[in-house]
Structure 1
Amino acid sequence: MTVITETARPVPVSRGYRFELVKLFAAWRVRLLVLACWIAPALFVAVVSEQSSLPVDTLFGRWMNATGWAGPLVMLGFAGTYALPLLTSVVAGDVFASEDRLGTWRHLLVAVRSTRRIFAAKALAGLSVLVVLVAGMAVSSAVGGVLAAGNRPLVGLDGHLLTSGDAAVRVLLAWVCVFAPTLALGAIGLLGSVVWGRSPMGLLLPAVVALVLALAQLLPLPVAVRLALPSYAFIAWNGLFTDPAQLGPLLIAVGVSLAWAVVASALAYLLFVRRDFTNPAHDGSGRRALTIGVLPLVALLAATAGIVAVATPATGSGIELDKVQRSVATAFAHLYRLQAGQLNRPDVTEEQLAATAACTKGDGLVEPDGPGNDWRCVVSWHLPGIDATGQAIYQLDITSDGRYVADGDGPKEVNGYFQVRTPAGDQPNPLWQFDGNVELLTTTKG
């Protein structure tokens, strides 16, 4: 009698993916996060948009009761700093460690019969959950903002007015761009989950890395190093809201984030498929695996910083006198036209105004470059048919990433505080305080 034996085939990745997806959404913490991401942003944006005191220290916060498209951008700034690192920790940082805590690797291997397919299924399931969470925050905050403040035009970071349709498209692009650094943190979470096993360090790794990167962004780093950090795309979306758009830093930041996502995922994969699953007491891959996981990422940071430094004309902090003066003058000219329309004054073009800015730093006692809250700019402009030159003074606080807040310091009738009646209700004088952005790279191509 002939005995026919049939070799068991590994389970397809699609079936493993569905199984992992069901496991993730069955966890109460994941379901709670999904519910929170799809509801809480709308409530937050709607409530804040109705307040008289707005978060003016947050980018686009001063426009939250003027247009519904400011709310999603305020939420995006909060998400990039706090929410998304925590979400990646809960999802990606636990996707492998949960099997170690429950001791279910043996059963999973018997069922799937392929470590490679297990890794692919878990990684894709974690990515899918992150997509649902990020999409929920974007949609929820946009709906809450539009319902509370209306589908109105948005003032960009250079003072020009974006139509409601243009603002909607750019808000969508901004949220799409932050998928790249979210993927990078997610891949780091996968790596930590593989390296540390049941240890809580794997769960905390994405949040810790995000905190370190956020602190690094506050330092006066060379622009090449700043653009090489995988978290810079959480900030670089600001360039979408200028005209022309500052796409150079954004594209570099997205590319760097995707490179980190690929390298970290590859390292996690290599460590996972080489793991000895016959040891039930396995508690992480040890010091050697930690070294293997860290050194390539450090090398990637050095390599990307070197490539950015060679491929772009970026030098120093990227915040230079000419850039600051050009940015302030451009924003003032756009906002002057906005103010003229709100006050029912004759319209003038930016070319007619011919606005210029003369800036100093530290009362002229220090070199005028780099971040600081000691910048002072005098803006000059001309009106058609008037020989006298108008002038206005601004105090600037420029952060290390190029964002600044210009605070009007006279004359009062130009950039002082007073209320202006608009279709959205009474609003502060647009020339009183405004946000701006200095592009860290030398050239702008939109």
Structure 2
Amino acid sequence: MLPSDPSLPNDSNPPRDRPATAGWARAGWPLLASELQMLFGRRRTWAMLLVLAAVPVLIAVVVRLSSGPGTPGRGPAFLDRVTQNGLFVGVTGLVVSIPLFLPLTISVVAGDTIAGEGSLGTLRYLLVAPAGRVRLLLVKYAAALAFCIAATLAVAVPGAVVGVLLFPVGPVTLLSGDTIGVGASVLRLLLVAAYVMVSLVGLAAVGLFISTLTDVPVGAMAATIVLTVVSAVLDALPQVTWLHPWLFSHYWFDFADLLRQPVSWSSFGANAWLQAGYIAVFGALAYGRFASKDVLS
């Protein structure tokens, strides 16, 4: 038997000048760019973003056309502060969007990640080397995270802009009674938006896992939405208080600590750790299911 030529790449003599990261550079980043282009090139994606952007705009227009400022304790949180400072429109829009609109859009995108490709029959082609199943899962989840960021900004940014146009803008009085300038107020709004983004990443991981269980994207979307509703309902029941800290929606409304002086990071940290746990658990479940899934038959 003739010895193999060490200069030729084969199983026994892999090329040494190609590190493992080269595989990701060749397939991962172009695949992610293609995924993002496909996601944000859909009319459905932009329709959802426009609906989200319409929420704070509608709030601002209704408050502006009303006869007087909102009554404290009536309506969404921070609504009574909108007429005092337009920057609160963005915060109020996030408060209104967190229970339904944001989870709904995230569920649609996350539920379509794998199931959508399966229903179209394109999943087998995406798994051709050097893509691989792990890399594809990471790319799909990264695209879902990108939408989480876009969806949150679609509420916060138009809310702040329309608030500046329709209401006075000046120093903001925080929940602690302290007053900060406009620049610091914008930073607080961005912190609240970041808190909301972090709150949604666990839901995206749940949707990714459910998407690996079926080839029917509508079913995956619906199941993710149902789990969101179940989590919110359980979080409102005092009979299962022991379960509340483990629900991915438990800390969704605890960003009020970011509107105090000094800023309290305890709720942000607890929320981040909880969402990281959901990413780890449901990411592992998604990999376990997707690694053994037959996509060639």
Superposed, 1:295-444 pairs within 5 Å as none
Is residue 61 of structure 2 the alignment partner of residue 47 of structure 1?
A: yes
The match for 2:30 is 15
Return the offset for 1:190. 0.3
Larger Rg: 1
Shift in CA distance, 242/44, structure 1 to aligned 2, threshold 3 Å: same
| Partners of 1:198 and 1:264 in 2: CA distance | 19
Superposed, 1:62-211 pairs within 5 Å as 62-110=80-128, 112-198=130-216, 200-211=218-229
What amino acid sits opposite 1:69 in the alignment? Answer: L
What amino acid sits opposite 1:151 in the alignment? Answer: V
The match for 2:256 is 238
Shift in CA distance, 112/19, structure 1 to aligned 2, threshold 3 Å: farther
Return the offset for 1:182. 0.5
The match for 1:34 is 49
Question: CA contact under 8 A between 1:49 and 1:148: conserved in structure 2?
Answer: no
The match for 2:5 is none
What amino acid sits opposite 1:21 in the alignment? Answer: L
Question: TM-score, length-normalised on structure 2?
Answer: 0.82
What amino acid sits opposite 2:46 in the alignment? Answer: R
Aligned residue pairs: how many?
275
Question: TM-score, length-normalised on structure 1?
Answer: 0.56
Question: CA contact under 8 A between 1:160 and 1:242: conserved in structure 2?
Answer: yes
| Partners of 1:136 and 1:175 in 2: CA distance | 10
Is residue 229 of structure 2 the alignment partner of residue 214 of structure 1?
A: no
Question: CA contact under 8 A between 2:56 and 2:92: conserved in structure 1?
Answer: no
Residues 48-102 of structure 1: CA deviation (Å, up to 9, x unaligned): 3413353732111111111112211111111211111111111111111111211
Shift in CA distance, 140/199, structure 1 to aligned 2, threshold 3 Å: closer
Return the offset for 1:122. 1.7
Identity %: 27
Question: CA contact under 8 A between 1:178 and 1:233: conserved in structure 2?
Answer: no
| Partners of 2:239 and 2:174 in 1: CA distance | 26
| Partners of 1:226 and 1:162 in 2: CA distance | 34
| Partners of 1:110 and 1:255 in 2: CA distance | 35
Shift in CA distance, 66/99, structure 1 to aligned 2, threshold 3 Å: same
Shift in CA distance, 139/113, structure 1 to aligned 2, threshold 3 Å: closer
Give the superposed CA RMSD.
Answer: 2.7
SS at match of 1:131: helix
SS at match of 2:99: helix
| Partners of 1:245 and 1:108 in 2: CA distance | 45
Residues 179-213 of structure 1: CA deviation (Å, up to 9, x unaligned): 12210011111011111232533112332222112
SS at match of 1:181: helix
Residues 210-233 of structure 1: CA deviation (Å, up to 9, x unaligned): 211222232226766433322123
| Partners of 2:217 and 2:150 in 1: CA distance | 27
What amino acid sits opposite 2:268 in the alignment? Answer: L
SS at match of 1:81: coil
Return the offset for 1:271. 1.4
SS at match of 2:213: helix
SS at match of 1:230: coil
Return the offset for 1:236. 0.9
SS at match of 1:65: coil
Return the offset for 1:160. 4.2
The match for 2:18 is none
What amino acid sits opposite 2:112 in the alignment? Answer: D
The match for 1:294 is none
Q: Which has the higher strand share?
A: 1
Return the offset for 1:163. 3.8
Question: CA contact under 8 A between 2:112 and 2:217: conserved in structure 1?
Answer: no
Shift in CA distance, 232/69, structure 1 to aligned 2, threshold 3 Å: farther
Question: CA contact under 8 A between 2:94 and 2:152: conserved in structure 1?
Answer: no
Shift in CA distance, 132/6, structure 1 to aligned 2, threshold 3 Å: farther
Question: CA contact under 8 A between 2:114 and 2:123: conserved in structure 1?
Answer: no
Which of 262, 285, 290 is the equivalent residue of 2:280? 262
Question: CA contact under 8 A between 1:156 and 1:241: conserved in structure 2?
Answer: yes
